[in-house]
Amino acid sequence: MKILEAINISKSFKKPIEFQALKDVSFSIEKGEFVSIMGKSGCGKSTLLYILSTMDTDYEGKLYLDEQLITGQTSNQLARIRNEKIGFVFQFHYLLAEFTVLENVMLPAKKLGIKSLEEIEADAMHKLTLLGIQDQALKISSRISGGQKQRVAIARALINNPSIIMGDEPTGNLDSKNADTVFDIFKELSEEEHLSLLVVTHDQDFAKRTDRIIHMEDGRIKL
Ligand SMILES: Nc1ncnc2c1ncn2[C@@H]1O[C@H](COP(=O)(O)OP(=O)(O)OP(=O)(O)O)[C@@H](O)[C@H]1O
Ligand SMILES: [Mg+2]
């Protein structure tokens, strides 16, 4: 089953001058597939991820998530789809520094507003346990290590049981040991939970160990 499908996605920035950042990008990701995107700085990786994650709606082409057409949905619908179906992990974790680890992980589930606080807290503890940092749950987020913060960010991305995790250089800010840990967690999620992952990386070793590498060049997928 296709979790994500991009069909002929093109994107131009109009300012300061017209510039086509994406040209006819088409690909799909199967359930449980772990895919990396590589390419030189400026080739369009973040621009593409921004569209795939439904944040940017100003593009040509079509995007499907879980076989649902995303293109053309209202911003309210998109916010809901995003919160329900997509987990994000960025280079910098964007945790709320003054909140506890547990509160940070619970946040997207509270926003979704389906489960009770007790259920959400239990789910959050379960995700933290999955990532081996349950002992950090009650610490203030600014008082844990960089590698731990990134694992909290992954736990937070998982809280609503998304269909896909998207990452823009999720290991870019980590030393090789912590980057390996994050890789192993992603691999396990894809193999054991059949979660799909799409991760932009500059790290060759990381990319080589994923199921498939999408190479980009000048706004296109290189075949
Ligand atoms: N808001 C914007 N307005 C105009 N041009 C932009 C904008 N954002 C990005 N670009 C241009 O689009 C191209 C693709 O940028 P993008 O951020 O997607 O690159 P990238 O592949 O993620 O690079 P990096 O590896 O450095 O993160 C670049 O040439 C960039 O200058
Ligand atoms: Mg980028």
Nearest CA to ligand 1 atom 6: 13
Which atom of ligand 1 sits closest to the CA of residue 50? Answer: 18
Residues in the chain: 223
Instruction: Give residue 190's pLDDT.
Output: 96
Ligand 1 contacts (CB < 6 A) are 13, 19, 21, 39, 41-47
C-alpha 163 to ligand 1 mean position (Å): 26
Total domain count, the chain: 1
Picking from 56, 6, 51, the residue whose alpha carbon sits closest to that of residue 29 is 6
Instruction: Give residue 91's pLDDT.
Output: 81
Instruction: Give residue 223's pLDDT.
Output: 82
Which atom of ligand 1 sits closest to the CA of residue 39? Answer: 21
Sort strands 220-222 and 212-217 into parallel, antiparallel or unpaired.
antiparallel
Nearest CA to ligand 1 atom 27: 41
Instruction: Give residue 100's pLDDT.
Output: 98
Pocket test for ligand 1, best of 12, 13, 38 (most atoms within 8 A of CB): 13
pTM (two decimals): 0.94
User: Domain containing 159 — which CATH number?
Assistant: 3.40.50.300
Domain that holds residue 186: 2-222
Instruction: Give residue 119's pLDDT.
Output: 98
C-alpha 116 to ligand 2 mean position (Å): 37
Instruction: Give residue 92's pLDDT.
Output: 80
Q: Are 150 and 73 in contact (CB under 8 A)?
A: no
DSSP 14-62: -SSS-EEEEEEEEEEEETT-EEEEE--TTSSHHHHHHHHTTS----EEE
Per-residue confidence of the chain (223 residues) as pLDDT tens digits?
A: 999 999 999 999 998 899 999 999 999 999 999 999 999 999 999 999 999 999 999 999 999 999 999 999 999 999 999 999 999 998 887 899 999 999 999 999 999 999 999 999 999 999 999 999 999 999 999 999 989 999 999 999 999 999 999 999 999 888 898 899 999 999 999 999 999 999 999 999 999 999 999 999 999 999 8
